[in-house]
Structures are given as C-alpha cells and as structure tokens.
Amino acid sequence: MDKILTKIKDMPGVLGVYLTTEDGKLLFSSSSIDNSPLVLAGLTASLKGYISDLLESTKMGKFTDSIINGNIGKVIISTLKNNDILLVFMTGSSNLGVIKYEISNIIESLNQTL
C-alpha cells in the first residue's frame, strides 16, 4: 500500500498524501506539509462525516469525493469502498486532471487489495 500511495506523492505539485479510516485513525502519510498528520486525519474524517450527512439528508446519495479549492492550493478527499479516506494536498498550479486520473487508478488498486 505504501508503494501505491507514494506514487501519488511523487507527482509534480502534490504536497501530501494521507490515508485514514473514517473514524480518523491515520493509516499512511507522506507529506511536505508542516501540519500534524494525526490532526489532518481527524479533521478529514470529521469533514467527510459532515459532507456525508449533508448528502444523505438531501437524498443526494453517498459521498464519493470532493475537491476543495483554496486560493493557493487544492485538497482532494476520496473514499475507498471500505470507507477509508484518501486525502491529497496539491499546489494551485498542479495538473488537477492528471492527478485526479492517477488518484482514480490508485483507488481502484487499493480497493482490489481490500
């Protein structure tokens, strides 16, 4: 799993990659971001929970992924089939399409190992 996830981190513009359970337990991190991986894992699990509640209460389905745009960079939050959460931080100038494509390939590979 580490080798698969490190492949994303090595892409141009990717600042950090984290894998956490839906209750916030950190499973993997590779990052150049100064923030605590444990704190980011907990915040991500909480955010995913809120977004999931919003989608389900409005009958919009289950949470799959989200792209959060900041004025300096982007964050992609994706869910695996076992409800683990993949979190990817990237610069604003990175190629979102290429990274999103690679994330979908990585999620497929991870889902096959579950």
Q: What is the CATH number of the domain that holds 60?
A: 3.30.450.30
Q: How far apart are CA 86 and CA 56, in angstroms?
A: 20
Q: What is the pTM of this model?
A: 0.91
Q: What are the pLDDT tens digits along the chain (114 aa)?
A: 788 888 899 999 999 999 999 999 999 999 999 999 999 999 999 999 999 999 999 999 999 999 999 999 999 999 999 999 999 999 999 999 999 999 999 999 888 886
* CA atoms within 13 A of residue 56's CA, in its CB half-sphere: 9
Residue 69: its H or E element: strand 65-69
What residue numbers bound the domain in which 25 lies?
Answer: 2-113
Please, are residues 36 and 20 in contact by the beta-carbon 8 Å criterion?
no
Tell me how far apart the alpha carbons of residues 42 and 45 are, in angstroms, rounded to a whole number.
Answer: 5
> Which of 52, 51, 30 lies closest to 41, judged by CA?
30
Count of structural domains within the chain:
1
